[in-house]
Amino acid sequence: MTPGGNSSQLMSDINVTPFVDVMLVLLIIFMVTAPMMMQGVDVSLPEATAEPLESEKEHLIITIDTQNQVFINDFQVTIDFLGEKLKKILEGRSDREVFLKADKDISYGTVVHVMAEIKSAGVEKLGMVTEPEAFEKEGKKKKPTSKK
């Protein structure tokens, strides 16, 4: 007689411990890397009532942050050299479309100056990036909250 019972039957239970270990490791890896995959510079965008546009292609985004620093996607440039850099970037592109993200606390003059540089670089379409307005459940506009 063999110890542990009858040896003529096969064990039909699956050991899921290695599978769970691998899944937990993958979950931790994705949780750590997901915040690093955020694109662009963080700015506080103005709110608008327009619906978001759906797009499948990667766009060229010009960002102005609260310190009046200008970025082309994630790369910082000065306003004086923005037009030159855009001309070089747009040479190899068929679509001459750019999106502008500006912090809502930036002065109007700075935004207009950057827009003029973008247009002088030969950009045909300039889009403005905004955030949708916050609405209450009844469909009425939510009152803005004041920061203290």
Q: Which residue has the higher pLDDT, 124 or 25?
A: 25
DSSP, residue by residue, the chain: --TTS-TTSPP-----HHHHHHHHHHHHHHHHHGGGG--S----PPEESPPPPP--S--EEEEE-TT--EEETTEEE-HHHHHHHHHHHHTT-S--EEEEEE-TTS-HHHHHHHHHHHHHTT-SEEEE--EEPPB-TTSPBPPPPPP-
The predicted structure's pLDDT at residue 141: 52
The predicted structure's pLDDT at residue 130: 77
Residue 146 pLDDT class (50, 70, 90 cuts): very low
Residue 46 pLDDT class (50, 70, 90 cuts): low
pLDDT at residue 4 is higher than 80 = no
pLDDT at residue 17 is higher than 60 = yes
How much is the average pLDDT of 102-130?
86
Q: Answer yes or no: are the C-beta atoms of 54 and 138 closer than 8 Å.
A: no
Q: Quick one: angle between helices 108-120 and 79-90, nearest 10?
A: 30
For the record, the structure tokens of 138 come out as: 């009844």
Q: Which range, 84-88, 90-94, 129-133, 134-138, is most confident?
A: 84-88
Residue 41 pLDDT class (50, 70, 90 cuts): low
pTM of the full predicted structure? Answer: 0.54
Q: Answer yes or no: are the C-beta atoms of 55 and 95 closer than 8 Å.
A: no
User: Under CATH, which architecture does the 58-132 domain have?
Assistant: 2-Layer Sandwich (3.30)
For the record, the structure tokens of 95 come out as: 């679509």
Domain parsing of the chain, residue ranges: 58-132
